[in-house]
Chains A and B, each alone.
Chain A
Amino acid sequence: MNFIDLLKRIPEICKTPETLPLEGKKLILDFVTWLGSLVGIAVPPWVLTLVNILVVIVAIIAVFLIMFALMSVWERKILARAQNRYGPNRVGPWGLFQPVADGIKMLTKEDIVPRNADKVVHFIAPIVMLVPALILPVLLPYGRGMVAIDLSVGILFFFAVGAGSEVAIFLAGWSSRNKYSILGAMRAIAQMISYELPLVMSAVIVALVAGTLSPTGIVEAQGGYQFGFFPNWFVFTPWGFVACVLFYFSALAESNRSPFDLPEGESELVAGHLTEYSGFKYALFFMAEYVGMFAINGLLVTLFLGGYQAPLPFLTFIPSWCWFFIKLAFLAFSLVWVRATMPRFRIDQMMQFAWKFMLPMSFAALFSAAAWHYAGRGLLGWGISAVLVAIPYFALGYFCFTRHHSADNRRYLFSE
């Protein structure tokens, strides 16, 4: 084997886009073997295993950080368009180099630590925030046979690791010794633990139907087409639709996105747990939030939107890993759209929505899914589970929200 052969393989690999990432990885492994033969030693197998893992990890981190950079400028563009202005368009073509400029600015800023702050914890918090966020993307299947770690308990592990960011937020709020920081942190924790229940419950529903907790297994369970053209994705069943909507809003709340951005409500709490952070520590928090947001939406794609499956049979010529990222980009766009459209919740509305509406609805969706399973997973099951979901939906809507929220007559005071 020589270097020319390796170079010759590159155009061959590019001919089949479906397997391009896997073949690319093999090429890098062969390159390492070739490097070893150049020095005159046989590369030991454990080095190859290590390189194999590291290539995947570095690739995933790089992809997600590039997505974060693009998202930060894309989000500002979309928000600007929603508000009838241009958004960033000065740095590079269409403002595409804006994230680079932001990064350099963040790196060169002074890092201010308040004198009373707990300095060690204040330093650790951004790292503790970033590490779980960077572990999450490793667990997702990006294409056929493209999963970095195929854990049999992948979904459970995802939620277990994802809960680490709550600890980091509390570390940040507590160590700042600022009352807005600690208030923001307490609110963030109350919100995140409240919305974790519907989030985890919707995943239980999918595990019940698919009979596995492995992300790859769940995507495979959604393969194939009904009547030859209708995809078997879980979102197209009544229980799956309800679980998907619950998961989407819980994911919004988990990643502290608008309209659930109370912990950072600038009109009440300055910037919540981020108040005393400046410079690159702030940038790390920002990065962790966005990577976590991509990861949890990637899980939504895996659980409900068929993962890497194509939506229609004749679209399978587009490689599977492209489909995953197309769906993820669509979800990311919808998140910005929601942010541009919705006003912020009030804290009592937010807690009531989580505990009195989403939690019972997730149990209703669970029983609806069980009924769908017992009715033979066909059209009959579809109808029964639709009824089983609709009844609690209207009942909860009637009891929880219409009765208490007729506003009192407004009393006019002073200037009015």
Chain B
Amino acid sequence: MQYLPVLLQVIVAIGFAAAALIFSVLLGKSGRRNPTKDSPYECGMLPIGGPQPRFAVKFYIVAMLFILFDLEVVFMYPWAVAFRDFSLKFGGSTILWSMISFIGIVTVGYAYAIKKGVLNWGRQDVEKSN
């Protein structure tokens, strides 16, 4: 029941977007089509090459690193919520040290990634690390 407003909000938002698009179809002008207009937009030049260029592997590496760190941060949420009550109830800094050790392990991976030059995006940086 707590999430009922979210569901209603989704319905209202989809309704709003769909209604706006339908309105624009009804009100909008429909011009004639021709091959030039149908082609992908490249600032008026004839399109060169295919529509899907090859991508640098850097994008995928960043995505993998993101998954690693995002999971780490999501693990930290319950810890952070429990931190205050735990430390006030039991005193001591056990809860802090346990998180420091966890972050330490991930930091080793982070340092390795930096050492390998994974996060260097500039041309000069890449040449240097090779």
Contact = CB atoms under 8 A, between A and B. Distances in A.
Interface of A: 50, 53-54, 56-58, 61, 106-112, 114-116, 123, 126-127, 130-131, 134-135, 138, 148-149, 151, 156, 176-180, 182-183, 186, 189-190, 193-194, 196-197, 200-201, 204-205, 207-213, 270, 275-276, 279-281, 283-284, 346-348, 351-352, 355-356, 359, 363, 367, 370, 373-374, 404
B25, B50, B55, B62: most-surrounded residue (chain A CB, <10 A): B62
Interface in B29-85: 29-31, 33, 37-43, 49-53, 55, 59, 62-63, 65-66, 69-70, 73-74, 76-77, 80-81, 83-85
B27 to A, nearest CB: 5
A130 B13 contact: yes
B76 A186 contact: no
Interface string B4-15: 111011101110
**DSSP majority for the B interface?**
helix
B81 A211 contact: yes
> Would you list the 4 A-B pairs with minimal beta carbon distance, nearest first?
A211-B84, A280-B24, A348-B121, A348-B122
25 contacts: A50-B8, A54-B8, A56-B5, A61-B12, A110-B29, A110-B31, A114-B41, A116-B38, A116-B40, A127-B17, A138-B6, A149-B5, A183-B53, A197-B66, A197-B69, A208-B80, A213-B81, A280-B20, A281-B24, A284-B17, A348-B121, A355-B114, A370-B96, A374-B87, A374-B96
A180 B42 contact: yes
A135 B49 contact: no
A135 B6 contact: yes
Contacts of B30: 110
Given A179-B53, A374-B96, 15 more contacts: A57-B5, A57-B9, A58-B12, A109-B24, A110-B28, A111-B24, A127-B14, A178-B41, A197-B66, A207-B81, A211-B83, A279-B24, A347-B121, A351-B119, A352-B119
B38 A114 contact: yes
A164 to B, nearest CB: 11
A372 to B, nearest CB: 12
A127 B18 contact: yes
B62 A190 contact: yes
A45 B96 CA distance: 48
Given A207-B77, A208-B80, A348-B122, A53 B8 contact: yes
A211, A351, A363: most-surrounded residue (chain B CB, <10 A): A211
Contact of A190 (B6, B16, B51, B59): B59
A57 B12 contact: yes
A57 B40 contact: no
Interface of B: 2-6, 8-10, 12-14, 16-18, 20-21, 23-25, 27-31, 33, 37-43, 49-53, 55, 59, 62-63, 65-66, 69-70, 73-74, 76-77, 80-81, 83-85, 87, 93, 96, 100, 103, 110, 114, 119-122, 125
Nearest to A199: B73
B77 A213 contact: yes
A152 to B, nearest CB: 9
A384 B55 CA distance: 46
A212 to B, nearest CB: 6
Nearest to B31: A110
A115 B38 contact: yes
Contact of B121 (A54, A176, A200, A352): A352
Contacts of B53: 179, 182-183
Contact of A182 (B3, B51, B73, B120): B51
A197 to B, nearest CB: 5
Contacts of B103: 363
A78 B65 CA distance: 39
B90 to A, nearest CB: 13
Contacts of B33: 115
Contacts of B41: 114, 178, 180, 270, 275-276
B8 A57 contact: yes
A123 B28 CA distance: 15
